Structure 1
Amino acid sequence: MSIALALLALALSCIGILWIVGVWISQRIHSVWSRPTGGLDPITGPKDRMAIYDTGGPFIPMPEALKTHEEMVAWMTKELPKLTAEAGKP
């Protein structure tokens, strides 16, 4: 009985390894085919992203002096509503 269990465990292990290899190969093939064919992405940083995708709408940048979560939340709850109200005025 123990030999049968050993052979069953060996067979299941081989099937599992073959399944893992198949999944790995299919993921590799998919990643190769899904790569963009264009050139390099011109966007390298957040300032470049704003310059390229700026729609001309109101954009209020967060001050760079804010470092902690509490400072950012305080700025968003106190100063940001004032700035958005001023941006809406003609």
Structure 2
Amino acid sequence: MTRSEVRTVLLDAVRELRPEFAGLRLTGNEHLGAELGLDSVARVELLVVLEEEFGIEDEVDPRIFMTPATVNALVDQIVVAEGVCR
């Protein structure tokens, strides 16, 4: 998987979790909590979507999903911490 693929999957998952964002262009720079309204449970749901999409169950540390403020920061964290992207 690539950085771009991870970002696309996460942004699509945000739109699924928050239907009010369906059809809107998200940049990935929106704040996960303040702007997108995603709490810690929703962040875990993002992890599940990512693992299911790429068949990488238990390869991504769930703690990574708790600290980044934006989707783009989350993608960066996944790439650096897990080395799962090419």
> TM-score, normalized by length of structure 1?
0.23
Which structure shows the higher helix fraction? 1
- Structure exhibiting the larger radius of gyration computed from Cα positions: 1
> TM-score, normalized by length of structure 2?
0.24
